[in-house]
């Protein structure tokens, strides 16, 4: 007997047959949100051992035209473990008849009231937001790893500095910091009056946990430690007054994303994606995460979009083309531009000089500069709209 094993994925005790997804568009019956809630009883909460419905983790199910979105309650300590649960929920629901797409996002438990409400911040119960001197904060994020977030963040920051803005670059990737290598920085920041002074590179003020911890030291962090380290890199660093802080986010939708959404007035997020379909599905997850935390998504960037042969100049769309543009339309967000797949981008990054600084007139640098100008345009508009005060709310 022949077993078909390809296309099956094993998720936390649930074997989900991907072939169901292939067939799902043929189904005509559309389930109800209540029926989907029942289906979710098959998914186990790793913290309590109960199913996620009985454990009270299903905060909401929204169902429209075969698209389902599930919000799962979590707290800081369990955010990382809940990532897997999100994926299991998505796979399970995507396999149901009548469902064309399923997204699960994490949402935080309502925060307990802080001991002393902050004066002057106009948002009552919440602790004061960090980085009050920074006019706009932009997170460079994606749903999946390795799509080029750090490359985009670094080049975006340098391009913005070249365009005359006061720019900072924060590496929010505590597990796998990229800035030391990509910027060729391995000094420890000076400490003055109890604050670390960011390192300067190409006119950008930079901070990374990699400046503080030896690259060879294995970093084993738990969720709350990640959040603490990230908060310190905002609160205990002398960022000063910046026009824009670019934040290089770690992959996924875990602790760092929650910290950023909760602790600073994020102007918005830009989502990086590669053209492959699967990456786009992950991009969608990144977009939903920020929407759920009420952080505006400024737009989508397609990285490794096309390949131009350095010898003959021929351009090939290796992974297909236009996916991110279409996806941006579908999600109602802007397409901010595409970055070619170029050996020079990688070699420049590996040599510690971002391509925008190493070869400002190159095709790649021009692509990053055009994206930077668009991001600035969006940010300047958002900052005016936001002037009544930060409005990040976690439900
Ligand atoms: N447009 C590009 N052309 C060529 N190489 C690229 C391009 N973008 C990124 N790379 C290379 O791809 C690799 C992954 O990029 P990068 O580290 O920026 O991804 P990431 O999304 O930040 O990854 P992680 O999720 O691990 O943080 C790096 O070696 C980088 O130099
Ligand atoms: Mg990275």
As a whole number of angstroms, the distance between CA 154 and CA 148 comes to 10
Q: Identify whether residues 281 and 340 lie together within a single domain.
A: yes
Q: Identify whether residues 79 and 159 lie together within a single domain.
A: no
Q: Identify whether residues 198 and 93 lie together within a single domain.
A: no
Phi-psi group of 294: left, alpha or beta (phi > 0 → left; psi -120 to 50 → alpha; rest → beta): left
Does position 204 have pLDDT exceeding 90, yes or no?
yes
Give the pLDDT band (50/70/90) at residue 292.
confident
Q: Identify whether residues 101 and 143 lie together within a single domain.
A: no
pLDDT digits (tens, 9 = 90+) for 24-73: 444 456 788 889 999 999 999 988 999 999 998 888 787 777 777 787 88
pTM of the entire predicted model: 0.68
Q: Identify whether residues 186 and 64 lie together within a single domain.
A: no
Rounded alpha-carbon distances, angstroms, from residue 84 to 53, 253, 280, 331, 335: 16, 11, 18, 24, 29
Tell me if 275 CB under 6 Å of ligand 1. Answer: no
- Would you give the end-to-end CA distance of the chain in angstroms? 51
Domain count, the chain: 2
Which segment, 22-31, 76-85, 314-323, 328-337, is predicted with the most confidence on average? 328-337
Give the pLDDT band (50/70/90) at residue 12.
very low
Q: How far is the CA of 7 from the centre of ligand 1 (A)?
A: 26
Q: How far is the CA of 149 from the centre of ligand 1 (A)?
A: 7
Q: Identify whether residues 348 and 253 lie together within a single domain.
A: yes
- Quick one: which of 163, 158, 182 has its CA closest to 345? 182
Q: Identify whether residues 74 and 202 lie together within a single domain.
A: no
**Residue 142, domain member (yes or no):** yes
Q: How far is the CA of 69 from the centre of ligand 2 (A)?
A: 27
Extract the tokens encoding 100: 């064309």
String of DSSP letters for 284-308:
HHHHHHHHHTTPPEEEEEEEEEEEE
Q: Identify whether residues 60 and 192 lie together within a single domain.
A: no
Instruction: State the CB neighbour count (10 A cutoff) for residue 307.
Output: 16
Q: What is the CATH number of the domain that holds 286?
A: 3.40.50.300
**Residue 213, domain member (yes or no):** yes
As a whole number of angstroms, the distance between CA 96 and CA 27 comes to 9
Please report the atom of ligand 1 found closest to the CA of residue 340: 1
Does position 386 have pLDDT exceeding 90, yes or no?
no
- Quick one: which of 148, 161, 136 has its CA closest to 369? 161
Query: Which residue among 151, 156, 252, 340 has the greatest number of ligand 1 atoms within 8 angstroms of its CB, and so is best to mutate?
Result: 151
Q: Identify whether residues 320 and 189 lie together within a single domain.
A: yes
Q: Identify whether residues 249 and 322 lie together within a single domain.
A: yes
Q: What is the CATH number of the domain that holds 41?
A: 3.30.300.130
What is residue 118's predicted lDDT score, i.e. its pLDDT?
Answer: 40
pLDDT digits (tens, 9 = 90+) for 101-154: 787 877 765 544 444 444 444 444 567 889 989 999 999 998 788 889 999 999
**Residue 395, domain member (yes or no):** no
What is residue 44's predicted lDDT score, i.e. its pLDDT?
Answer: 93
Q: Which domain holds residue 261?
A: 134-385
**Residue 391, domain member (yes or no):** no
pLDDT digits (tens, 9 = 90+) for 173-201: 988 899 999 999 988 999 998 899 999 99
Q: How far is the CA of 146 from the centre of ligand 2 (A)?
A: 7
Backbone angles phi, psi at 272, to 5 degrees: -100, 135
Handedness of CA 110, 252, 180, 264 (dihedral sign): negative
Residue nearest to atom 6 of ligand 1 (CA): 346
Instruction: Output 121 or 229, whichever has higher pLDDT.
Output: 229
What is residue 67's predicted lDDT score, i.e. its pLDDT?
Answer: 77
Give the pLDDT band (50/70/90) at residue 274.
confident
As a whole number of angstroms, the distance between CA 248 and CA 258 comes to 14
The number of the ligand nearest the C-alpha atom of 337 reads 1
């Amino acid at each position: 007997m022949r077993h078909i094993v390809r296309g099956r994925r094993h998720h936390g005790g649930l074997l989900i047959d991907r072939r169901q997804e292939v067939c799902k568009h043929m189904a005509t019956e559309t389930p109800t949100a209540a029926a989907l809630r029942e289906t979710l009883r098959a998914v186990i909460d790793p913290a309590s051992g109960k199913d996620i419905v009985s454990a009270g983790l299903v905060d909401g199910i929204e169902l429209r035209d075969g698209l389902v979105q599930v919000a799962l309650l979590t707290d800081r300590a369990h955010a990382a473990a809940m990532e897997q649960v999100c994926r299991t929920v998505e796979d399970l629901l995507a396999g149901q008849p009548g469902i064309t797409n399923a997204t699960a996002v994490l949402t935080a438990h309502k925060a307990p009231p802080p001991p002393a409400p902050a004066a002057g911040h106009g948002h009552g119960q919440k602790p004061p937001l960090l980085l009050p001197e920074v006019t706009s904060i932009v997170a460079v994020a994606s749903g999946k790893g390795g799509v080029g977030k750090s490359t985009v963040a670094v080049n975006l920051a340098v391009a913005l500095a070249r365009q005359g803005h006061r720019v900072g670059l924060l590496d929010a990737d505590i597990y796998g910091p990229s800035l030391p290598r990509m910027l060729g920085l391995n000094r420890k920041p000076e400490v003055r009056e109890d604050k670390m002074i960011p390192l300067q590179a190409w006119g950008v003020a930079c901070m990374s946990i990699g400046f503080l911890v030896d690259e060879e030291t294995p970093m084993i962090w738990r969720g709350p430690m990640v959040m603490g380290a990230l908060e310190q890199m905002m609160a205990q660093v002398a960022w000063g007054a910046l026009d824009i802080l670019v934040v290089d986010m770690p992959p996924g939708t875990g602790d760092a994303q929650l910290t950023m959404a909760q602790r600073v007035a994020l102007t918005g997020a830009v989502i990086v994606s590669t053209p492959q379909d699967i990456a786009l599905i992950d991009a969608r997850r990144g977009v939903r995460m920020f929407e759920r935390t009420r952080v505006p998504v400024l737009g989508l960037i397609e990285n490794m979009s096309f390949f131009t042969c350095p010898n003959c100049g021929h351009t090939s769309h290796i992974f297909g083309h236009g996916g991110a543009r279409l996806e941006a339309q579908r999600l109602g967000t802007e397409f901010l531009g595409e970055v070619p797949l170029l050996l020079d981008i990688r070699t420049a990054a590996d040599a510690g000089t971002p391509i925008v600084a190493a070869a400002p007139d190159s095709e790649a640098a021009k692509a990053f500069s055009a994206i930077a100008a668009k991001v600035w345009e969006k940010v300047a508009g958002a900052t005016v709209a936001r002037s009544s005060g930060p409005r990040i709310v976690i439900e």
